Amino acid sequence: MDYIVFAAGNRQRAMGILAATTLGRVWLMATIVLVIGIAQRTAGLSSAVLLMALFTISMGSSGIAYLLEPEGQSPQPR
């Protein structure tokens, strides 16, 4: 969906959507880990460690994919 908004030339709206979805995902995962931690302490710690590892891998792979992308392949607003 972000690419559609970028293609339309509304960069500020696209960045707002991207920021909102990123923050929403973080808050959702933090709430889930908190609830699991309250219900069962060892499972909460395990889920927090797993979540940190998965977010780190996701961010790292996104960065590497961006760096390895050829020059003309990224979507540019017009």
Give the integer Cα–Cα distance in Å for 4 and 18.
Answer: 12
Give the integer Cα–Cα distance in Å for 54 and 49.
Answer: 9
Question: Which uninterrupted H or E stretch holds 70?
Answer: none
> Would you state the pLDDT for residue 1?
53
Q: DSSP letter at 15?
A: H
- Which pLDDT band holds residue 78 (cuts at 50, 70, 90)? very low
Residues, the chain, total?
Answer: 78
Cβ atoms 39, 51 nearer than 8 A? no
Give the integer Cα–Cα distance in Å for 64 and 58.
Answer: 10
Query: In this predicted model, what pLDDT tens digit does every residue of 39-74 receive, in sequence order?
Result: 988 888 888 899 889 889 988 998 898 888 887 665
